[in-house]
Chains A and B, each alone.
Chain A
Amino acid sequence: MNDNVLGEIAEMLREVLDEYVVDDVEITVDTKFYDDLEMESIDLVALAGLLEERYSGRVNFAEFIADLDLDEIITLTVGQLVDYVDRSMQSVKVV
């Protein structure tokens, strides 16, 4: 687990959402996008934009989301995204 990535994603979430929510809920790998952060689909779009901006094409959030069914999206945790970002970054390195 990359603490750095977790920190970066937490910062993006803070930007997407109102800062207080994130401020109040300590963002951990267990934090759920839906239940804990009350994110809606349009927020995911904004998050995708920030991920794109930060990792410039190396992390494809849209592909990640597209592979998930509805139940999986509802239970999606920050940790899962961090893992995905980690894997995406490493595969880029390998290539």
Chain B
Amino acid sequence: MAVQEPIAIVGMAVMLPGAPDLESYWRNLVDGVDAITEAPAHRWDPAFYDPAASADRADRVYCRRGGFIDDLAEFDPTRYGIMPNSVAGTEPDQLIALQVAASAIADAGGPDRLPAADRVGVVVGRGGYLTPGLVRLEQRVRTVNQLVHTLHELLPDVAPDRLDLVRQAFSDRLGPHQPESAIGLVPNLAASRIANRLDLRGPAYTVDAACASSLIAVDHAVAELATGRCDAVLAGGTHHCHDITFWSVFAQLKALSKREQIRPFDRGADGILIGEGTGVVVLKRLADATRDGDRVYAVVRGTGVSSDGRSASLFNPEPSGQAMAVRRAWAAAGLDPTAPQAIGLLEAHGTATQAGDTAELATVADVFGTNGDRAVIGSVKSMIGHTMPAAGIAGLVKAALAVHRGVLLPTLHCEDPRPELAQTRFRPIGVAQPWEGDLRRAGVNAFGFGGINAHVVLEQAPAATGVGPISVSEPERVLQLAAADPAALAEILSADDATVLATPLLPGPCRLGIVAPTVRRLALARRVVAKGVAWRGRSDIWFTPRPLLPAGRTAFVFPGLEADFAPRIDDVAAHFGLSTVEHSASNVGRHGLGVFSVGRLLADALNRLDIHADAVAGHSVGEWTAMVNAGLFAGSSIDGFLESFDPDSVQVPGLVFAAIGAGADRVEAAIAELPGVVVSHDNSPNQSIVCGPQVVIGELVRTLRQQNVLCQVLPFQSGFHTPMLAPYLEPIRHAVSRFELRSPTVPVWSATTASPFPAEPAAVREIFLRHLLEPVRFRALVGAMYEAGVRIFLQVGTGQLASVIGDTLAGRDYLAVAANAPQHGGLAQLRRVVTALWVEGATVDATALDARQKAPGPSLGSARAGRPVRLDLGGALLSLGDGAHGLVSTDRAPSTLDGMANGDPLAAELAGLLRETADSAVAALALRDVQKTEQQPTTPTERESTVHVSVDGMPYLRDHCFFRQRDDWPEITDRWPVVPATTVIAHMIEAAESAGPRAIAVHNARFARWVVAAPAVDVPVTVRPETPARMQVSFGPFAQSTIELGDEYPAAPQIWQLDLSTERAPDILADQLYTDHWMFHGPQFQGVVKLTGLSDAHVRGVLRTPAAPGALLDNVGQLLGYWIMTTQSNRNIVFPVGVRRIRFYGPHPPAGEELDCVIAIRSITDAELTADIQLCRAGRVWAELDGWVDRRFDSHPETRAVERFPDRNTLSCRQPGDWTLVFERWPDLASRDLIMRNHLAASERADYDRCGPRVRRQWLLGRIAAKDAVRQGMWAAGEDRIFPAEVAVSNADNGQPLVAGAHGRALPDFGISIAHCAEAGVAFARRSTRVGIDIEEIAEHPGSAVGFALSEDESALMAGLSGEPHLWFTRFWTAKEAVAKAEGTGLRGAPQRFAVVSATESALTVEVDDRRYEVSCTTISNPPDLPPRDYVVAWTCAPATEADREAAA
């Protein structure tokens, strides 16, 4: 057999129980973390768990523990160019596989290191199980129908419309249907989506070989690489199915562990626990990886696959088949598995079932023999459960990490190993231990149901690899140990290294921390601890017998300019998402700015790690950083100062600095005779800096060196901290006078005075200037801070400051540690800081360093990464929610009434009344609750004022009306003037500012209700101080927010850098927003002057500040509105409901000023749209709005024209026969309200309000159809634009509908008839004629109804007609109704009076008295997006008497 080409694993990523990423997985593996938990209730209903249930209940399981990833399953759709609202409908494992694949690529060094896209393949192992997306599809397609079908069988009396409500309620709980989500049914998408989103163009497919799937995928990948078809392949497996059906299968097979613990190879093992997860490795040919300098985790030497053939049953494992796969893999590797040092670790399949473990151990004994070095056997299933198709990849990644890092990893719960192990060369281990030996080699098993077997041989990478140009780095391990005292700690350390490394962290004040523990460091630590004296940092070991905290205080100390400036902050900035400026030491100004920005960045990073200062200080210009860090000045003052700082302006010609390795006293003596030389920095007992003329300093350095004093002339020149600077100070003095000062958050210490800065601004400014003219007394400063209780000095920057502090504090108990150092990467050094502080008793958030690396991926125009969406992996039973019990009413009285209501108007009325009463009661109770809260006692400092909201007082509101009316329309309420939410914010700001200085931020603004300005309303505004700087403001019941006040605007943040590669040009010009009525806003709110560009994740434009209050931010909403209208096909009416935070960085721009507005879409669901916004004026950020939330209202594509031009469009469609038909396309209350207000005038709205909730919906449909019928009739006659409100529809006393022109609109004399049923409304208008129209749903009617409605003649007529009797009955009935309306009488309880004398499918003749009506008739159906329903519509025109007809003849 030919030896297989060696394949390198160059990247890996996983998402497994307890392990969101590779590094956490590693920690869990080393530490032996048991990630098994109880099944979350949303995965499957807890009711399925019933260990006492009879064995033949397939729907009951006796085990509920397993491996779950729910709390880790977050997905950031925008990163992969996926619309957030499509996430819910997508099969979760596809998204997880995509994310893990991207992480694996990132781990391999990023997409740039991959070969050409057409040479990269994807093979994913995945089974065809009932995954969550499929379950939801099944529920939508089958279960709902099963439910309704069964209900109908059980409760035949329940009316069909009630069953439809059940169907609807059930479907509603599934969320909106997205047709594209059904594609999740196709299993290969797990691989195809990866190829699609990451643009990989080699073969991409899934393989299913049950539990062997992942390793078969690896086998395929190896083949793709070996044949040269691909140059890199992503291989792995995914399994995210915890469906109860899946559990049921294993429960029925009795394969689940009864004791709910998975114990591979333990004598007491009783079965598996089910896990889930995804893992992906990036594979390349070893030769290529070596050439490319890739980091190689391990080399795949051989893969082997076999089937059991006929040798066993389909679900019993078979050693002979397994052995064949293992042997084939070793043969492919060209290796002898029985050789003495052939293998060090076997990651076994280890299912912990009796049959499985027995067969596997037989295989292992057979293939590997019993000779040779004792190797370790284990299975990660003991920690994460059996991850099925992903099991192989979980094991492969584990084995590769073990090989790479030289650690043999433990297996849990194998306390009493099976006796068969004695016949193998393997042993299980319970704690991690170093992997000794010359060459680390491992095997991985995966054996699947049905007799499919796979094995992979892994080997340590050849020494030459792993050190290349690649910059992938792995976080170092930190060993943390704690005990009561040094003796107890020494006791822990007395064990061997492996045991020490596996020791769990227990509470205790005496702590030891070792970064990257090695044999040498462990040995050193033992001696350190044995001595019991504090040890702080050398060899990356920290130990203290008595922690400095909490008694000691912590200071941030910011370095100034030093000879070497090489900060390592890029990884820190990237990790925490902080911005960094380019640093350079090219001149004093740039160097200073660099030092300053590095200090700020690291301070931010420390804060993220929950490390905070009790005091701050700085060395030289670092003092400025300290002042800014504590908020003594606004950061922007210093930024602006440094930006505009011209170093030449303060450079004293010919002056240089020299660092001297001697104390100031000795240096003073040495310079006493030298002209123009002064000590500028008294740093520590053994270091000072002098400043003086270059030639003199040169002489001093020579002299001192001869005296064996270390000296170094520094590379920058300025004359800072010397009296020589005085003549050059003016620009700085001027700048300082303009700095705005505030109270610092923590004391800022001055190195000029060696004491904290005073409070008065004048004194602060004076010291600021003295600092430039007087020596830096850093030695005195550190001493004074120590006296004041500071014990921990964090050097917040790069350089030597910590060691200078150490020189001053030598012999005392303190910690000085640098947050940045040239020896280590930025994050690695922060890990040391965290370790050092933890040892001193600090509570630090070290996990912030471990946070999952954001996987890179195509960024489609988003300004920043979007928010991750939690994936719903659940498949629990659906609950219809609170309203469910009323759907198929079990409450006797109303159900009886409902039944009667079909035929009895009185019963219907009563039922409606009862419901209305109940609704009113609910409303009243809710109101009472509101009042209760409102009546809570108020704090004495609360202040209340009133805002009178009216269009007279706020005339600009005439340009903020939701509905268009004729220009001269007198009724303002028909336009619905509403105070914009952003104007409400302006009012809240105004109210808060009356209590203090200017508003600098608005937090958690919430808009509960429209503030309608007509009729006028007085709104009480309450300002309640939370703190002196934070005011809770409520604007009546309409809105509330917290306004933050400050004397000073904060420093403006950086302007967002947009990825414009996917930006497209807007399809309209800005003024079309208004001229084409995309927006309802009138001139005073029309501020969007330019639409610059948009993508799926952003939109930007230019806003010209309108004069009206709040209008500028309202224009932000308009720009966002444009985005949604142009990107979303439905639900694109939006109104703001809240803003999480608005921050202002300057005063409100004056009217007319133009601002650049960028809106980044953060998430979009059917219900809500969330965006972040940045507004810039003149290249500087003026305001940032985070978490602007728009609520989306239902809007149907067919309603859009009416919304924009209601005077030219109708919701109804004119039908053949010239009647109009409208369907209800506004299912929710809010959308219906908007539609209602767009059509009804004031008096009609009063009628609407009087309607009971039950009839309101249909009533509105009828009104719309009537107005539309009239308007269409007039348009047909050549009339121009008519608004719906201009056609007034009312009822005569006898109930007959009437139409009339309103407010000066002349209307011809129309006869009108209106009818409605379910979701449809119809109207028929004809000039000067009485008309009748009716619509009825086609449905079965009981025989009694037929007997009531039809005479014997009619029944006989109907019996002679071919076709469905109930359809004919509906036609008869509808025709009678239509005629009764035309008569102006209604049926009046005597339907037989209206006699159908002839009938075809499209025309009936009805006689009443001596009048004969020809009735047209048709059937219509609800459109597809409404509940399926068919109707008959019948309409009639003028009556004809017998005489008329004879005359006509």
CA of A2 to CA of B701, assembled, Å:
31
Asked if A61 lies at the interface with its beta carbon under 8 angstroms from chain B, I say yes
Of B12-20, B702-710, B1258-1266, the one touching chain A: B702-710
* Nearest-CB residue, chain B, relative to A38: B538
* Nearest-CB residue, chain A, relative to B684: A42
Smallest beta-carbon distance B1347→chain A, Å? 104
CA of A41 to CA of B662, assembled, Å:
12
Beta-carbon contacts under 8 Å, B675-727 to A: 684, 686-687, 701, 704-712
Smallest beta-carbon distance B844→chain A, Å? 23
Q: For B211, what are the chain A residues with a Cβ–Cβ distance below 8 Å?
A: none
A38 touches B706 (CB 8 A): no
Residue in A18, A45, A61 whose CB lies within 8 Å of B538: A18
Q: For A41, what are the chain B residues with a Cβ–Cβ distance below 8 Å?
A: 661, 687, 710, 800, 803
* Nearest-CB residue, chain B, relative to A61: B708
Asked if B177 lies at the interface with its beta carbon under 8 angstroms from chain A, I say no
Q: For A17, what are the chain B residues with a Cβ–Cβ distance below 8 Å?
A: 538
B687 touches A42 (CB 8 A): yes
Smallest beta-carbon distance A90→chain B, Å? 18
Residue in B528, B701, B707 whose CB lies within 8 Å of A20: B528
Which of A40, A48, A62 has most chain B Cβ within 10 Å? A62
CA of A64 to CA of B526, assembled, Å:
37
CA of A17 to CA of B468, assembled, Å:
34
Asked if A81 lies at the interface with its beta carbon under 8 angstroms from chain B, I say no
* Nearest-CB residue, chain B, relative to A18: B538
Residue in B535, B712, B807 whose CB lies within 8 Å of A42: B807
How many chain B residues have a CB neighbour from A under 8 Å?
Answer: 30
B708 touches A48 (CB 8 A): yes
Encode A45-72 as 1/0 by CB contact (under 8 A) with B: 1101101100001011111011000100
CA of A66 to CA of B531, assembled, Å:
38
A18 touches B535 (CB 8 A): yes
Smallest beta-carbon distance A69→chain B, Å? 11
A17-B538, A42-B803, A42-B807 known; A60+B520 contact, CB < 8 A:
no
CA of A24 to CA of B521, assembled, Å:
9
A40 touches B803 (CB 8 A): yes
B803 touches A62 (CB 8 A): no
Asked if B858 lies at the interface with its beta carbon under 8 angstroms from chain A, I say no
* Nearest-CB residue, chain B, relative to A36: B539
B800 touches A62 (CB 8 A): no
A21 touches B538 (CB 8 A): yes
B711 touches A62 (CB 8 A): yes
Asked if B1340 lies at the interface with its beta carbon under 8 angstroms from chain A, I say no
* Nearest-CB residue, chain A, relative to B562: A41
CA of A44 to CA of B538, assembled, Å:
16
Smallest beta-carbon distance A65→chain B, Å? 6
Asked if A8 lies at the interface with its beta carbon under 8 angstroms from chain B, I say no
B538 touches A62 (CB 8 A): no
Residue in A49, A57, A59, A66 whose CB lies within 8 Å of B705: A66
Q: For B712, what are the chain A residues with a Cβ–Cβ distance below 8 Å?
A: 66
Asked if A15 lies at the interface with its beta carbon under 8 angstroms from chain B, I say no
Q: For B524, what are the chain A residues with a Cβ–Cβ distance below 8 Å?
A: 20-21, 24
Asked if A43 lies at the interface with its beta carbon under 8 angstroms from chain B, I say yes
Q: For B523, what are the chain A residues with a Cβ–Cβ distance below 8 Å?
A: 24
State which size class the interface on A falls in.
20 to 34
A65 touches B710 (CB 8 A): yes
A17-B538, A41-B800, A42-B804 known; A70+B704 contact, CB < 8 A:
no
Smallest beta-carbon distance B563→chain A, Å? 8
A20-B527, A38-B539, A40-B800 known; A63+B684 contact, CB < 8 A:
no
Encode A10-31 as 1/0 by CB contact (under 8 A) with B: 0000000110110110000000
* Nearest-CB residue, chain A, relative to B807: A42
A24-B520, A40-B800, A41-B800 known; A52+B564 contact, CB < 8 A:
no
B661 touches A45 (CB 8 A): yes
Beta-carbon contacts under 8 Å, B531-567 to A: 531, 535, 538-539, 564
Asked if B806 lies at the interface with its beta carbon under 8 angstroms from chain A, I say yes
A18-B535, A40-B803 known; A60+B708 contact, CB < 8 A:
yes
A45 touches B687 (CB 8 A): yes
Smallest beta-carbon distance A2→chain B, Å? 20
Residue in B535, B564, B661 whose CB lies within 8 Å of A44: B661
Q: For B528, what are the chain A residues with a Cβ–Cβ distance below 8 Å?
A: 20
CA of A71 to CA of B706, assembled, Å:
23
Smallest beta-carbon distance B567→chain A, Å? 16
A21-B539, A38-B538, A42-B803 known; A62+B527 contact, CB < 8 A:
no
Q: For B708, what are the chain A residues with a Cβ–Cβ distance below 8 Å?
A: 48, 51-52, 57, 59-63
Q: For A44, what are the chain B residues with a Cβ–Cβ distance below 8 Å?
A: 661, 710
Which of A18, A44, A45, A49 has most chain B Cβ within 10 Å? A45
* Nearest-CB residue, chain A, relative to B705: A62
Smallest beta-carbon distance A37→chain B, Å? 9
Smallest beta-carbon distance B129→chain A, Å? 54
Smallest beta-carbon distance B396→chain A, Å? 36
Beta-carbon contacts under 8 Å, A61-95 to B: 61-63, 65-66, 70
A62 touches B709 (CB 8 A): yes
CA of A88 to CA of B564, assembled, Å:
30
Q: For A38, what are the chain B residues with a Cβ–Cβ distance below 8 Å?
A: 538-539
* Nearest-CB residue, chain B, relative to A57: B708
Smallest beta-carbon distance A53→chain B, Å? 10
Q: For B531, what are the chain A residues with a Cβ–Cβ distance below 8 Å?
A: 20
Q: For A57, what are the chain B residues with a Cβ–Cβ distance below 8 Å?
A: 708
A48 touches B538 (CB 8 A): no
* Nearest-CB residue, chain B, relative to A53: B708
B686 touches A63 (CB 8 A): no
CA of A42 to CA of B704, assembled, Å:
16
CA of A61 to CA of B804, assembled, Å:
20
CA of A86 to CA of B43, assembled, Å:
77
CA of A61 to CA of B706, assembled, Å:
9
CA of A10 to CA of B194, assembled, Å:
59
CA of A83 to CA of B1006, assembled, Å:
76
CA of A22 to CA of B684, assembled, Å:
25
A62 touches B520 (CB 8 A): no
CA of A44 to CA of B701, assembled, Å:
17
CA of A48 to CA of B708, assembled, Å:
7
B564 touches A70 (CB 8 A): yes
CA of A8 to CA of B1213, assembled, Å:
104
A24-B520, A57-B708, A62-B705 known; A42+B806 contact, CB < 8 A:
yes
A62 touches B686 (CB 8 A): no
Encode B654-669 as 1/0 by CB contact (under 8 A) with A: 0000000110000000
A23-B527, A42-B803, A45-B710 known; A63+B705 contact, CB < 8 A:
yes
CA of A94 to CA of B53, assembled, Å:
101
Beta-carbon contacts under 8 Å, B1134-1161 to A: none
Q: For A61, what are the chain B residues with a Cβ–Cβ distance below 8 Å?
A: 708, 710
* Nearest-CB residue, chain A, relative to B706: A60
Smallest beta-carbon distance B585→chain A, Å? 13
Q: For A45, what are the chain B residues with a Cβ–Cβ distance below 8 Å?
A: 661-662, 686-687, 710, 807
A60 touches B705 (CB 8 A): yes
Residue in A18, A59, A62 whose CB lies within 8 Å of B704: A62
CA of A52 to CA of B704, assembled, Å:
13
- 26 A-B residue pairs with CB within 8 Å: A20-B524, A20-B538, A21-B524, A24-B524, A38-B538, A41-B710, A41-B800, A41-B803, A42-B661, A42-B686, A42-B800, A42-B807, A44-B661, A45-B661, A45-B686, A46-B686, A48-B661, A48-B708, A48-B710, A49-B686, A52-B708, A57-B708, A61-B708, A62-B705, A65-B710, A66-B712
B contact residues vs A (CB 8 Å cutoff): 520, 523-524, 527-528, 531, 535, 538-539, 564, 661-662, 684, 686-687, 701, 704-712, 800, 803-804, 806-807
18 more CB-based (< 8 A) A-B contacts, given A42-B800, A60-B706: A20-B524, A23-B527, A38-B539, A40-B800, A40-B803, A42-B684, A42-B686, A42-B804, A42-B807, A44-B710, A45-B710, A51-B708, A59-B708, A62-B661, A62-B704, A62-B705, A62-B710, A63-B708
Q: 10 tightest A-B contacts by CB?
A: A45-B661, A40-B803, A62-B705, A52-B708, A45-B686, A42-B803, A62-B710, A42-B807, A24-B524, A62-B708
